[in-house]
Amino acid sequence: MKLSFLPHSRQSVPPEPGAAPRVRRLRDLPGPPQWPVVGNALQVQLSKVHQNVEAWVKRYGPMIHVRLGGFPLLVVSDHEVIASLLRDRPEGFRRPSRMQEIMAEMGIQDGVFVAEGEHWAKQRRMVMASFAPGQVRAYLPALLKVAGRLRDRFELAAQQGQAIDLQADLMRFTVDAISGLAFGMDVNTIESDDDVIQRHLDQIFPTIWRRSHAIVRYWKWFKLPRDRRLDRSVKAVNVAIRGFMAQARVRLQDPARRAAPHNLLEAMIVAADEPGSGMSDDDVVGNVFTMLLAGEDTTATSLSWMIYLMSRNPHTLQRARQEVDSCLGDLNNWTADDLGRLDYLEACIHESMRIKPVGPFNVVQALKDTVVGDVQIRAGTSVVMVMRHDTLSDDTFPQAQRFMPERWLDEATQLAPHHAKRVSMPFGAGPRICPGRYLALLEIKLVAAMLLQHFDIVSVDTPDGRDADEHMALTMVPVGLKMRIRRITA
């Protein structure tokens, strides 16, 4: 039998020459004791499920067996095994089919996040065209405008001595940034406090999380008022996107615009119109929807965690500010090259994503009977990949619990292994790695640099004065961070 994912380091006991390699069955693996019928379902708390699973692998080992009701799960934490699973897509593994069913039930067209097989491959080509590096650079002026507005909002809070609701304000930034990029619309939630599309998206995001973990799928038979509200929201966003699309098609009649699209929607339409792309208008709509869902919380949450961790380690704020002051002039004139020179700030991003990844676990489903590590699983079995285990091991990252951005700068310090980026995978890995990662890094750098250039961070407080609580709801969000800042006077 072929051991498809057995990394060399795990083959500690080589089989006798000629003997078949030893393979374990899923049910023979260690794991938390299972109760009749429900298995381990009642031992997890939805908002803390990542910590529950992390605690299990710490206790029972890198490959464990868990059962949620009738569904057996393989849980893995070894980064090499995880990387091989992520690479074996779309042929060997897929995202959980439940996610795709839920989105379809909600009336959301397949986008690249949930599509599979050949359909996914075509969508991915179209989406990647809109994230080409030159294209992302073209979005910078729009991002600078939004960052300038956030600076003005922060300035007001500083003048009035008000605490800033960190996650909420950063969400305003990412909502405005993504809406601008997705369809060239100047949404401006930073100044106006409201946006119609955003109000609808706020309904959709938590529902995906709730429904993907529901034990009884009641909404298939009857709808509660909140389900009817959701239906109205999905419909409204679909109608809005189709409206933007019609406008974009008119603009794209201009050959110059077609040669240099101004936003994701235009870039996707151009890519979809290429002969042989196999993409329809429905695919474009599904992917604009996907960008709105995938690009907001993830980026805002990563920024919140980074600002929180840096505020707990003031010397990192100081060093990052020196770098920003030496590399950047007036915000309106920042270029992608200027931002590319902020190596220390970039190290802060990698370090905070190592400690606080917004996706602390990822799930794939086997498309055929196969072997993971040395464990045989059947087609359809889900594999939960714990992304924050090896990344917090002192064996891999010395003093792993400490926030030390310098570990990403200089291999000579040996604070990180030479292949650190293959251990810490906050954007996933393999063919389905996050296509928005460069855009996200650009946004994070932009906001952090704006903050450091103009303000001193006085404090970032949690509601109870202890370490920030991690709340899992599709992304792992810090609970209730309040930031106080002071304007730097020249």
**Residues lying near ligand HEM in the complex (CB under 6 A):** 86, 112-113, 124, 178, 290-291, 294-295, 298-299, 302, 358-359, 362, 426-430, 432-436, 439-440
Quick one: 379 or 433, whose CB is closer to ligand HEM? Answer: 433
Reduced to 3 states (helix: H, G, I; strand: E, B; else coil), residue 29 is coil
- Give the N- to C-terminal CA distance of the chain in Å, as an integer: 69
Quick one: 100 or 453, whose CB is closer to ligand HEM? Answer: 100
* Torsion sign across C-alpha atoms 25, 30, 35, 39: negative
CB 376, min distance to ligand HEM, A = 24
Quick one: 117 or 314, whose CB is closer to ligand HEM? Answer: 117
CB 147, min distance to ligand HEM, A = 15
Strand partners, 383: 74, 364
CB atoms within 10 A of CB 247: 14
Quick one: 303 or 460, whose CB is closer to ligand HEM? Answer: 303
- CA 61, CA 28: separation in Å to the nearest integer? 13
CB 476, min distance to ligand HEM, A = 10
Phi, psi (degrees; rounded to nearest 5) at 296 = -95, -70
Phi, psi (degrees; rounded to nearest 5) at 121 = -60, -40
Q: Where are the alpha helices (DSSP H) in 139-195?
A: 140-160, 166-183, 189-192
- CA 58, CA 77: separation in Å to the nearest integer? 9
The single-letter code of the amino acid at 291 is M
CB 477, min distance to ligand HEM, A = 12
CB 364, min distance to ligand HEM, A = 8
Quick one: 40 or 109, whose CB is closer to ligand HEM? Answer: 109
Quick one: 339 or 434, whose CB is closer to ligand HEM? Answer: 434
CB 447, min distance to ligand HEM, A = 12
Task: Write the CA distances from 208 to 23, 41, 100, 104, integer angstroms.
Answer: 36, 19, 10, 11
- CA 88, CA 429: separation in Å to the nearest integer? 10
Quick one: 31 or 428, whose CB is closer to ligand HEM? Answer: 428
CB 302, min distance to ligand HEM, A = 4
CB 352, min distance to ligand HEM, A = 10
CB atoms within 10 A of CB 485: 21
Give residue for tokens 């299972």. Answer: 34
CB 22, min distance to ligand HEM, A = 30
Q: Which of 16, 85, 9, 138 is nearest to 362 (CA)?
A: 85
- CA 244, CA 230: separation in Å to the nearest integer? 21
Quick one: 83 or 457, whose CB is closer to ligand HEM? Answer: 83
Q: 477, 205 in Cβ contact below 8 A? A: no
What's the alpha-carbon Rg for the chain, to the nearest Å? 23
Quick one: 85 or 468, whose CB is closer to ligand HEM? Answer: 85
